[in-house]
Structure 1
Amino acid sequence: MSNTEDDDFALFQEAVQGVKKLDQDTIIQKPKRETKQKQQQRFSREARDNEFFFSDEFVPHLNEEGPTRYARDDVSKYEVKRLRRGVYVPDVFLDMHGMTQNEAKRELGAMIAHCVKEKIHCASVMHGIGKHILKQKVPLWLAQHPDVMAYHQAPLEFGGDGALLVLLSIPEK
């Protein structure tokens, strides 16, 4: 080393004399994933899983006469009558106005998953009338889902011609 470098090093040592090295005391915590975020991810995953049930190719045999209605074979016709009369009051409302068919399928699957998770037995699906696309498709999709017991065109106070009241079976856990 040259003479000037020796002088610089000596000056540096003199300047830092008596200085102690600091211990690293900063605790770095991993960010906690919010439980709400986890619930939202699980909810969207369940919604994607429920889309499986809705096929555009499968067309169930539905009664064409009168208002739109359906009941599984194991469901009493009395339940359909109670839906028609408005005895069942929906706890969840799904408004599909302005949705595409894919958006409507996804939202319908999410609504059914939500109802099953929250143990909600009756929901209202407002498909609207418009060009009759969703009005024709929604009953076909609902008839394919295993948790849908029955549905009927909603009474006037819950949407009339532009809505369906859906009765869901909630599995016991």
Structure 2
Amino acid sequence: MSKNDSFLSKEQEKLLKAFRKQISPVQQPEDHANQPSKIIAEKVILPNDNELFQNAMQGVEKFAKNNHAMISVKSPKKRLDAQLLAKRAAAEGTHDHELTALSDTQAILNPVSSQQNLSYRTTTLQHKVFDELKTGKLRWFEAVDLHGCTVEQARTAVLEIIQIAKAENQTVIKIVHGKGPEAILKTYVNGWLRQHQDVLAFVSAPEKQGGTGAVLVLIKRSVQIKKDKA
């Protein structure tokens, strides 16, 4: 069929060609810039709860023996038997010169009550040290209980425990004198300690350590003099 035999007019053929161009696929060169980029999401791995706990517990050791902490409790110091000290001193004949040096007159002239707080210090003692003695911060070395003692036994026991502390180079002792209605032994202890040359201070003990029924005594530290060898 020739062009002249076409049943389509020229205008219709133009429209047909234009329509064919619109519906025919157009081959275009590959353009990577116009293509949607492929995004690869990186997987972020977060630590789980167990890993976080293990990191936080690094360096922490488990308690042994059923997870109970072992607390060492020191046994309290034993009180010396005052009557035994007095008998031993009498048998050995020690401290006779000190016994005569301690007068009972000062004690009798200055009686104290059973609930009275005792307090004494030498002028040379630092206030800080005295405060530590009053608050019980200075640990005592030995204690003696004067309950049941006569006045003479009590005086000997006081001198004896001071000598024991000096021999061990200790500075703090506790004397339990009690607080009876008349406070007889307490009055004597108050007078004796004020006269003793080795006593720097004494105070009624804190409530947990005996209160007004006992005194904490600070004594001079024993100085050992080394003799030069000839």
TM-score, length basis structure 2: 0.52
Alignment correspondent of 1:18: none
Larger RCO: Structure 1 or Structure 2 (Cα < 8 Å, ≥ 6 residues apart)? 1
Contact 1:46 1:113 in 2 (8 A): no
Question: How far off is 1:76 after superposition?
Answer: 1.6
Alignment correspondent of 1:32: none
Question: How far off is 1:169 after superposition?
Answer: 0.5
Q: How many residues align?
A: 132
Question: How far off is 1:92 after superposition?
Answer: 0.4
Larger Rg: 2
Unaligned segments of structure 2, at least 5 residues: 1-87, 225-230
Unaligned segments of structure 1, at least 5 residues: 1-39
3-state SS in 2 of match to 1:46: coil
**1:55 and 2:103 are equivalent in the alignment:** yes
Alignment correspondent of 1:30: none
Alignment correspondent of 1:128: 178
Question: How far off is 1:135 after superposition?
Answer: 1.2
Contact 1:96 1:126 in 2 (8 A): yes
Alignment RMSD: 2.6
Query: CA 1:116–1:45 in structure 2 vs 1: closer, same or farther (change >3 Å)?
Result: farther
Question: How far off is 1:154 after superposition?
Answer: 0.3
3-state SS in 2 of match to 1:103: helix
TM-score, length basis structure 1: 0.68
**1:159 and 2:159 are equivalent in the alignment:** no
3-state SS in 2 of match to 1:164: strand
**1:84 and 2:134 are equivalent in the alignment:** yes
Question: How far off is 1:46 after superposition?
Answer: 3.4
Question: How far off is 1:91 after superposition?
Answer: 1.2
Contact 2:203 2:216 in 1 (8 A): yes
Percent of aligned positions that are identical: 27
Letter of the 2:131 partner, please give it: K
* Inter-partner Cα distance in structure 1 for 2:97 and 2:142: 20
2:188 is aligned, of 123, 137, 147, to 137
